[in-house]
Amino acid sequence: MSDYTAPLADLDFQLRAVGGLDHVLSLPAFAGIDADTVRQILEEGGRFAGEVLAPLNRAGDLTPAKLENGAVRTSPGFADAYRQFAAAGWNAVPFEAEHGGQGLPWLVQTALAELWNAANLAFALCPLLNNGAIEAIAAHGSPEQKRLYLPKMVAGEWTGTMNLTEPQAGSDLGQVRTRAVPEGDHYRIIGQKIFITYGEHDYTPNIIHLVLARLPDAPAGTRGISLFVVPKVLVTPDGSLGQRNDLRCVSLEHKLGIHGSPTCVMAFGDDGGAIGFLVGEANRGLEYMFTMMNNARLAVGLQGVAIAERAYQRARAFARQRVQSRDVAGSAGPVAIIRHPDVRRMLMTMKAGTEAARGLTLQAAAWIDGARHAPDADDRKRVQALLDLIIPVVKAWATDFGVEAASIGIQVHGGMGFIEESGAAQYYRDARILPIYEGTNGIQANDLVGRKVARDQGETARVFLQLVQDTIDELDLLTDEDFVAMRGALADGHSALAQATEWIVRTFPEDPRRAIAGAVPYLKLFGLVAGGWVMVRNATAAAAHLELGEGDGKFLSAKKTTARFFAEHMLVQASSLLWPATQPAATLALAEDQF
């Protein structure tokens, strides 16, 4: 029996209240798709996640993928589940019909991806990386590359990876040493890559690797990196499989969590060089890879939401069942621990943070659809700027919260949470990678400050701040005490974020090191305000439904209460972050030998 239930009610609500589903479906690209169809898709996705993927989650943790005689054998049941996943069409949801896709909004894909990741994070990493590879080839590949690879990848018959880092490079991709030697109409790829998720597996007969490498005459640093398609099995012009390419998995990493996901060390060219094909123009590989990385960063932020939801569901179930100690208000005997105020505080923190992070992720997904499909070019440009601004916030803030929620989940369990058999510890171990990969959260904060705020002198950040201010202004008309509390917290957070943003705009051009020293607290401040903005919109939408007598009154009243909790217990922390975001002197004061 599954211990995961898809949060369809909240997804359905937030798709409309925050994601603007009706507006997205009104875009010409999505003609013929209606909200009822989306609801049915999510219901079926919830069933698949709960019945097929979630029961394998524990098995993947206990029985990791193994490397045997050069082949990777995935965890029990994973390969069969993947084949069911592909056969059901889940891989094809957001992609263009010309490549076999279903052409649904990225907003819908994001809601579905939460279900896959919450049910089984280790499993969901494979389609996550495949989606990113599809995006990169679709955006930058040649017509021939699109013809050969995209239909199979969209159908899930083949999967894709990204091969970026190397042992000496880490996140500094300018240090990449993998070589690409020209040979006729292709290149010989020689080098080693580490941390390659699903670099080898037994799901599909072919894996399409996207590999960063250097040409012989490439300039140093990031300006000299090119992108190559390097198939595990070479593909003939008619699309059939040819000979095995010169690449292999040489070892699997032994990890803290996500054991069911094979993380590979990949060797290219041990026997003369793997055959690869240049994507786009030479020396623009990092630029092209960012198409994939931005996709992945949003998806990783969503993983933070997913693991928080899974940890919350387990903690809530335990709190309802675990009987211990008398109620502080008096009781004849011990009560379920959900009666105890501190346990309720922990559960409310998990619930409120998860809903806020979910809403912000859905907002980002809606901006993807707007940036790609809005009829007006100026609207597309404006929405793309907002999307670029919010991506590092979603990735970092949501994954930090995912770790926090998983940790709180262990605390709700008490001593049983520290015991592996309870299952709570797995979520914490799985979650801990999320603030690290696809660019550590410190890198996300640097990106937010240096590239997204300072580069355009705060112009896009001010557009976002105006969106928040518009919501605050709407609250001026509401006298309900819940909304009075929300307005005060959101207004204070908005003020702090506006002040910190202007400080960055002034400081970064003259002293970027000072501005970057406060980048992480600035991002957290941004995330809390953005999360508060989402929760207020949820609450106002819920209040409107309640006033009209529509919907589930119990669910809607809970939306208001949860939003108020977020405002009074989490959003209020935003103002305290103004000082560490803008006063970095002590951070930079010590000499290296004083640490």
CA-to-CA dists, residue 353 to 309, 468, 578, angstroms: 10, 18, 21
Residue carrying the six token digits 């970095």: 584
Which tens digit of pLDDT belongs to each residue from 494-522?
A: 999 999 999 999 999 999 999 999 999 99
**For every residue of 377-407, which 3-state class applies, written as one string?**
HHHHHHHHHHHHHHHHHHHHHHHHHHHHHHH
For every residue of 208-242, DSSP letters joined together read EEEEEEB-TTPPSGGGG-EEEEEESEEE-TTS-EE
23 pLDDT higher than 80: yes
Which tens digit of pLDDT belongs to each residue from 333-381?
A: 899 999 999 999 999 999 999 999 999 999 999 999 999 999 999 999 9
Q: Is 438 tagged catalytic? A: yes
* Mean pLDDT value across residues 140-147: 97
Percent of the chain with pLDDT over 90: 92
Q: Kindly indicate the confidence band of residue 289, based on its pLDDT and cuts at 50, 70 and 90.
A: confident
According to DSSP, the residues that pair with 186 across neighbouring strands are 183
Query: Which of 572, 487, 562, 488 lies closest to 14, judged by CA?
Result: 562
**What's the CA gap between 537 and 544, in Å, rounded?**
11
Query: Which of 161, 170, 271, 273 lies closest to 227, judged by CA?
Result: 161
Residue carrying the six token digits 């010989």: 188
- The listed range with the strongest mean pLDDT (276-290, 327-341, 512-526) is 512-526
Query: Which of 274, 263, 20 lies closest to 121, judged by CA?
Result: 263
184 sits in the region (left: phi over 0; alpha: psi -120 to 50; else beta) called left
For 78, counting Cβ atoms within 10 Å of its Cβ (0-12 exposed, 13-18 middle, 19+ buried), the class is buried
Query: Dihedral (C-alpha) 310, 312, 315, 320: value to the nearest 10 degrees?
Result: -120
Tokens of 226: 């090119």
Spot the catalytic one: 135, 355, 404, 438.
Answer: 438
Which tens digit of pLDDT belongs to each residue from 460-484?
A: 999 999 999 999 999 998 899 999 9
| Amino acid of residue 271 | D
pLDDT value, residue 1: 41
Phi, psi of 557 (to 5 degrees): -65, -35
**What's the CA gap between 286 and 489, in Å, rounded?**
40
Query: Dihedral (C-alpha) 399, 400, 403, 406: value to the nearest 10 degrees?
Result: -90
How many CB atoms are located within 10 Å of the residue 36 CB? 8
Which tens digit of pLDDT belongs to each residue from 163-216?
A: 998 988 777 777 889 999 999 999 999 999 999 999 999 999 999 999 999 999
pLDDT value, residue 2: 62
Query: Which of 53, 437, 414, 400 lies closest to 255, judged by CA?
Result: 437
pTM for the structure as a whole = 0.96
For every residue of 88-141, DSSP letters joined together read TTGGGTTS-GGGT-----HHHHHHHHHHHHHH-HHHHHHHHHHHHHHHHHHHHS
Phi, psi of 164 (to 5 degrees): -105, -70
